[in-house]
Amino acid sequence: MNGRRRRTPAKSHRKPLLVGAGVAAVAAGAALAVGLWPGGDPGTSTGRQPSGRGSALAPESSPSASPSPDRTYPVSRTPRTIPAVREHTPARGPGWRPAKGGRVVVGDAELADEGRLLAKELGLSYAGGGEPRAGDVGLDLTDEDANPESYTLRVADGRVRISGTEEAGVFYGTRTLKQEVHGKATAPEGVVRDSPAKPQRGFMLDIARKHFTAGWIEDRIRELGDLKYNQLGLHFSDDQGFRIASDSHPEIVSKEHLTKAEVRRILALAASRHITVVPEIDSPGHLGAVIAAHPDLQLRNARGAATGGAVDISKPAAAKIVDELLDEYADLFPGRYWHLGADEYQALVVADPEASYPQLAAAAAKAYGSGAGVADLATGWLNDRAKTMRGHDRTLRAWNDGIFAGGTVQADEDLQVAYWTGKEIGARQPAEYLRSGRDLLNYNDEYLYYVLGQPNTFVYPTGQRIYEQWTPLVLRGTSPVPKQYDDQVLGASFAVWCDLSGSQTQAQVAAGIRMPLRALTQKLWDPREPSASWADFKGLADKLG
């Protein structure tokens, strides 16, 4: 995006972090210099074995290692960050914090954006290329064959060095450093080696039912970036509104909407934080805003009664307008991923879809043979929209209740399953999708759905429940799928849905999702069970801001 060199984590990157393997001892003789403060006579920096082999997020009172301190510096403690770092090799030394005269330097011009951002945040000067001297932070790209989101952060010899194989990893290292020195604290001496457990870590926002300002979305992007999320989903079309300006179909756009200029600013900010924006135009249901401008596309049953939000997929004009919108917004959103929706098509919630919607049954039989039904026609619609987006080279996902079992027509094999519910028709157990070889994304509505107004038995999720009870394998309800499927669960997304849009203000939404977002990133980044209590975790979050 924006010409930046980025590689998105794939399955090959889901190998476990090698905790404690081949970690070099921290160099001796760390000197007191710019960016440090007097802590006694200069001492010896002594390497220690990595901490972090046990449970994650150690309580604040626990040191990362327990040898007696020497005459100058105690052994360093594991940094306390959200998400927790997965490995820290402690050492003796004064550590580092930003001070007057300190600089950020980069060993690769492609890290200029990361360097400028960190310098601004820490009150340092950005010096461009060069070697870090005492008091500086150096950012580097390496040729190591590693997860592109991994990084190494070394504090030694009065300076900080952050390296990774890709810009994203280096950026995450700067987020760790930013948290380490928050509130005039000290980045501890030693080496952090860190990498995420899950390659997709997302937040999804329903901007269709409720208009969110560009500024509010940008604030969330900054928050997400600091928490090491890498996806922002935007659901911008639904029955209540269509919230991004359109050149191909301006007649469908709601009065309150984002301009394309605003979207481009959002995309640029997201790219600078290594966040991919994942658009969703849900179809063939949830298209009420389109139908309001094109009532001839409304699905009607055998009695002529309108079916809310649903287009008549037997009409070529319905596919034409949706494909025109997909093509238009593919040009606006350059990211790798696209969400096709496909959930809650109301023609399929009745007892006998073929009898209730004879025009759909006839179209299914014509397209796929006499044994085909309305579910087959809906699956064919999904596959056709996938074909449109494959022309834009996108990795595609759809809601689990839009991918049906059996039938004449099967959903394309490369569609990732966004698993959110077991309540809707067509919603099979997660293990059924996993056994068939599909990759899943966890949107579990029991823990990860923040639905404004709490309709239909929804309750606002809490960070504590996510932190204490949820794991990425808990895809439906409260029970996990077998561990053998861990690699097929690509990650998870917290989702804000605005069913009763007036129930909360933007500020209330931001406050309500604050701790759930922090708990979720902890569970997606570090697969170990946290040892710190929820109270300690919340206290850390409050301290870090």
Domains of the chain, start order = 87-194 (3.30.379.10), 200-532 (3.20.20.80)
How far, in Å, CA of 191 to CA of 153, rounded? 6
Beta strands in 46-186 (DSSP E): 88-90, 103-106, 125-129, 137-141, 151-156, 159-164
Q: Are β-strands 151-156 and 159-164 bridged in parallel, bridged antiparallel, or unpaired?
A: antiparallel
Taking residues 236-245, report their average pLDDT.
98
Provide the pLDDT for residue 44.
Answer: 35
Taking residues 157-178, report their average pLDDT.
98
Please identify every residue annotated as catalytic. Answer: 344
> Band of the pLDDT at 4, cuts 50, 70, 90?
very low
The pTM assigned to this predicted structure is 0.89
Higher-pLDDT residue of 51, 198? 198
How far, in Å, CA of 515 to CA of 519, rounded? 6
Provide the pLDDT for residue 241.
Answer: 98
319 with 284: CB under 8 angstroms?
no
Strand order across the beta sheet in which 151-156 lies: 88-90, 190-194, 151-156, 159-164, 137-141, 103-106, 125-129
Provide the pLDDT for residue 50.
Answer: 53
> Band of the pLDDT at 15, cuts 50, 70, 90?
very low
pLDDT in tens, 448-493: 999 999 999 999 999 999 999 999 999 999 999 999 999 999 999 9
Q: Is the peptide bond before 430 cis (omega within 30 degrees of 0)?
A: no
Taking residues 192-199, report their average pLDDT.
98
How far, in Å, CA of 226 to CA of 269, rounded? 13
270 with 221: CB under 8 angstroms?
yes
> Band of the pLDDT at 56, cuts 50, 70, 90?
low
Q: Is the peptide bond before 284 cis (omega within 30 degrees of 0)?
A: yes
Taking residues 237-255, report their average pLDDT.
98
Query: Which H/E stretch holds residue 465?
Result: helix 463-469
